[in-house]
Amino acid sequence: MPLKFAANISMLFQEIPSLVGRFKAAKDAGFKYVECTFPYAEGSEELGDACKEAGLEHVLINNWPGKMEKGELGLAALPDRVQDFRMQLELSIEYANCLNCKRMHIMAGRTSRYNKEEMEKTYLDNLKFAAERLQKEGIMCLIEPLNSRITAPNYFLNNLQTAVDYIKKINNPNLKLQFDLFHAQIISGDLCANLKKFLPYIGHIQIAQVPDRGEPDLQGEINYKYIFQLLQDIGYEGYIGCEYKPRTTTIEGLKWLEETGVSLS
């Protein structure tokens, strides 16, 4: 079965200034699926119409992250922001429904001024709430460990095994792991063993090269030709988000498909 690659239109096609315009660009480049990080600067209905007009399936958004200009990167683990988290989850659901998007990454937040045990309790309570609330909408709830060494300093969820332990503890089939190979390589490496080990818990995968977060080609630490074959061999049937930063233009960078022996069709 061919792998299903989704263009992350927050990071790809930045030659076009708006997300609305990037749907058509993704379609013209050959993508059938798209995802984005934060769609909240543009209207939900306008985005939904553009996605539908392009004939694309929107497979993932992140929930509302808080005040990123003040360094926030999610609210789910912040003890003093529970009301904000749950209220803004409704906004995220509105966007997901307008896009007919069936997966949402719930962002944890940073640890800089909170007690770890208090954060963990808040996080588990909010994840339980979110998994149940999203289940009512037919939306999969995802959590993703981010590397705190380079990309997201002080991010609360920064370990794959810890994420899976939380999933097991909450024990809701609507809560899954978002496995980003870029972050996973920086966090712990051992990608092939971890993909096999955690496959039953994985609800979405994302890709980028290490260390520059560029195209998932062979010019870095990760052998994506091998990884893509492994994903086929172990029977991964979900989507693979192309969440990388093109080194030149988006279209020029798509040569990674040929280099690694995969296609968008």
Q: Which residues are catalytic?
A: 144, 243
Q: Give me the DSSP letters along 111-131.
A: -TTS-HHHHHHHHHHHHHHHH
| DSSP 8-state symbol, 3 | -
Instruction: Measure the CA–CA gap between 247 and 112, rounded to whole angstroms.
Output: 32
- Which residue's entry shows tokens 């906004």? 91
Closest CA to 217 of 228, 202, 205: 228
Q: Locate 70 and state its tokens.
A: 């003040």
Q: Where are the alpha helices (DSSP H) in 204-255?
A: 224-233, 250-253
Instruction: Measure the CA–CA gap between 209 and 259, rounded to whole angstroms.
Output: 13
Contact at 8 Å (CB) between 156 and 77? yes
Instruction: Measure the CA–CA gap between 17 and 5, rounded to whole angstroms.
Output: 22
Q: Locate 80 and state its tokens.
A: 């003093």
Q: In this structure, which amino acid lies at residue 207?
A: I
